[in-house]
Structure 1
């Protein structure tokens, strides 16, 4: 299949990486669609952790967990720099346009989180994007320094919370275990019943699940992590890393370095959690820090590998499809949620809590196939994704052209 029609104002490598990120994010998100929310943090709730179940989780965790969310956040940060430069070149006020972009994105994220799927990242990106935009003119060195400082905050929080677990009264600790780590049989059945019910019935579970992310995870951990990665993405853009400006040899060296350091750190986390029996006091924060520290390095390896493939012109058909997904990333991200909740939630097939990790993997591949088919087909007829079109209309205040003009000769 030929690649989707190219627009001259786009950077090819960013579109391919964005499409790659959309697919990679689903490797872990499929678990959050299919199982109770605590099973994402405590995988012992989501399967036997033996045989094929165990190895699917290990590969997903080591190679994908947080790695593609990191890539997506970095690309979001890079996009801010590009948008600001284009706004200035057009005589617009970048800050004014950015505020409107983030405001509309926040609204889309809230609708997504509370109306479709609680695991939305768009609202968090919109909130943090307002802060990150202030750093867009910083040098590469300053961006990396601030990124490192912000990325260290979840480490401090994690160590503090781990210490707190060891000194808090036993009854308080047990209550936290039931709430965040090992819910009772009745609580698990309640979540399953809620998500297997109709859309209105799901609200009783979806609203608190989404609110937990927004009220607790955003200010304590996820917001700092996302901010750091957005700044790292700005630095990566300015350095030429994300634009394909490096040589294949330099990408290979950086990728091997990232994998050589990052993968052992993440694997050490798996060994640590297995050895400590997946107790909340050791695994919820302390055990998760291994992946937090190793994930950006593994992400670097993925990015370098993808850009080597792009520079060498390998797999052009697949790259064309990934490029199309990247050009319609917002629409494809939301379409992924619609497809997955239709499979797992009660207003669809109602498979929530019934699909093991093998089944989840097969469903994920099916969703990938839909995205890689629909996105190129859409772009053959239209200039941008449908949600991107609405977003741009809201930001610019005038309706942009959607249908692609037929070529004349």
Structure 2
């Protein structure tokens, strides 16, 4: 994987993604198809043979796993790069940018809400909801965090914990209020 990343850096594939879209299309199709086939073959051999015993099938399974994983990763990365460059995803990225700028604050908020929902000092839902219900709860929390992050960043430069982290890093209190808000209040 390191060598693939090194190659991408040398060829500057990620610097101008739009000029390399045909390459990423090929890599998405090739990486996903061969990676999935290798993964399925590995899963088959893993179920049918003892991988601890050095047989032809076990060595082949290990080789499929060793080559299939990086190919699948290449396919995933290429697919994500292609999706990011669609108009629909560009609109979604604007929404998600605020969540990313407040990643630490959102992570801590998500953790606190989940702790209150699942631990005994809160609603004690642990063991009472299925995995799917828990995943839906997590998605609901995230969906609420999107507009909260957008609204917060309309007034402030950083999330509260990002601001604290930055202030501690520079050993100096950083400006907290969004400069646009300061000019709006003066007029």
Q: What is the SS of the residue equivalent to 1:324?
A: helix
**Mapped partners of 2:103, 2:152: distance in 1:** 12
Partner of 2:2: 144
Q: Do residues 249 (structure 1) and 22 (structure 2) align?
A: yes
- 1:109-258 map, 5 Å: 144-145=2-3, 232=5, 239-243=11-15, 245=17, 246-258=19-31
Give the structure-1-normalised TM-score. Answer: 0.35
Instruction: Say if 1:318 and 1:355 are closer, same or farther in 2 by CA, change over 3 A.
Output: same
**Mapped partners of 1:342, 1:270: distance in 2:** 39
Offset at residue 319 of structure 1 (A): 1.6
Offset at residue 369 of structure 1 (A): 0.8
- 1:256-405 map, 5 Å: 256-268=29-41, 270-271=43-44, 275=47, 294-405=68-179
Give the structure-2-normalised TM-score. Answer: 0.69
Instruction: Say if 1:400 and 1:290 are closer, same or farther in 2 by CA, change over 3 A.
Output: farther
Instruction: Say if 1:322 and 1:294 are closer, same or farther in 2 by CA, change over 3 A.
Output: farther
Instruction: Say if 1:338 and 1:312 are closer, same or farther in 2 by CA, change over 3 A.
Output: same
**More relative contact order, 1 or 2 (CA 8 Å, 6+ apart):** 1
Structure 1, gaps ≥5 residues long: 1-142, 149-231, 282-286
CA contact (8 A) 2:35 2:72 kept: yes
Offset at residue 269 of structure 1 (A): 5.3
Partner of 2:56: none
Offset at residue 242 of structure 1 (A): 4.4
Structure 2, gaps ≥5 residues long: 53-60
Task: Point out the structure with max Rg over C-alpha.
Answer: 2
Q: Which moved more, 1:360-369 or 1:290-299?
A: 290-299
**Mapped partners of 1:292, 1:366: distance in 2:** 37
Cα displacement string for residues 305-339 of structure 1 (whole angstroms, at most 9, x for unaligned residues): 33323333224432212222222223223333223
**Mapped partners of 2:92, 2:25: distance in 1:** 21
Aligned residues: 173
Cα displacement string for residues 263-293 of structure 1 (whole angstroms, at most 9, x for unaligned residues): 33444455566x37xxxx9xxxxx9x98786
